[in-house]
Chains A and B, each alone.
Chain A
Amino acid sequence: GNSVTQMEGPVTLSEEAFLTINCTYTATGYPSLFWYVQYPGEGLQLLLKATKADDKGSNKGFEATYRKETTSFHLEKGSVQVSDSAVYFCALSARGGSEKLVFGKGMKLTVNP
């Protein structure tokens, strides 16, 4: 079946540090890939997405590239801010099979000033 494996943390960084959150997937067909973010006390919201191999999704300084050869979609940001403190979820939606969103377990990030 379809699945997502991501770094679980929690992770604590200092402001302006570099962030990488690893995400790998297993899927039938050709999935679309997503990163969602959950700020404290809120629901999830889409951070970025990529729908085909080699696509790069980007938003708010975050980037992730769809790597079909390594089945990965790692999230990166060059300089994190305190306001980036949140839980980050990698997710996929596979075409031609079970199209429902499948989430990783989430990673809590805390950024200290």
Chain B
Amino acid sequence: NAGVTQTPKFRVLKTGQSMTLLCAQDMNHEYMYWYRQDPGMGLRLIHYSVGEGTTAKGEVPDGYNVSRLKKQNFLLGLESAAPSQTSVYFCASSANLQGYTEAFFGQGTRLTVV
């Protein structure tokens, strides 16, 4: 049972480059999220989705775009990477937005922007 899978696990980008992080879940969850984790900051929500074809902004959306073309996939894009986007990115999914049920997390993507 794969759960939530993120690719890639590690990436180094040069400033100004673009990339897409892929999140896939096999639990038929409606809700998916992208967080970033920085030292001393905890987890901050970037964007989230309440279902296929929908997306919404979270706490720190600037510099990121997302798409949810298929229910099982949630893509996070960086159009022009900046050093401030160096972070560990986590994708999560849950059966409902209200959090009554467990949110499942991927293992993370460590991104360094130089």
List residues of A whose CB falls within 8 A of some B CB. Answer: 8, 32, 34, 41-46, 49, 51, 89, 92-93, 95, 99-101, 103-106
Contacts and interface: CB of A to CB of B under 8 A. Distances in A.
A105 B48 contact: no
A99 B98 contact: yes
Given A43-B107, A43-B108, A99 B43 contact: no
Given A43-B4, A100-B33, A105-B42, A32 B105 contact: no
B103 A104 contact: no
Contacts of B40: 8, 105
A40 to B, nearest CB: 11
B31 to A, nearest CB: 9
B68 to A, nearest CB: 16
Interface string B94-107: 00011110111111
Contact of B58 (A42, A49, A51, A100): A100
B41 interface: yes
A43 B90 contact: yes
Nearest to A107: B42
B45 interface: yes
A93 B105 contact: no
Interface string B73-114: 000000000000000001010000111101111111000000
Given A8-B40, A100-B58, A43 B99 contact: no
Contacts of B45: 100-101
A105 B90 contact: no
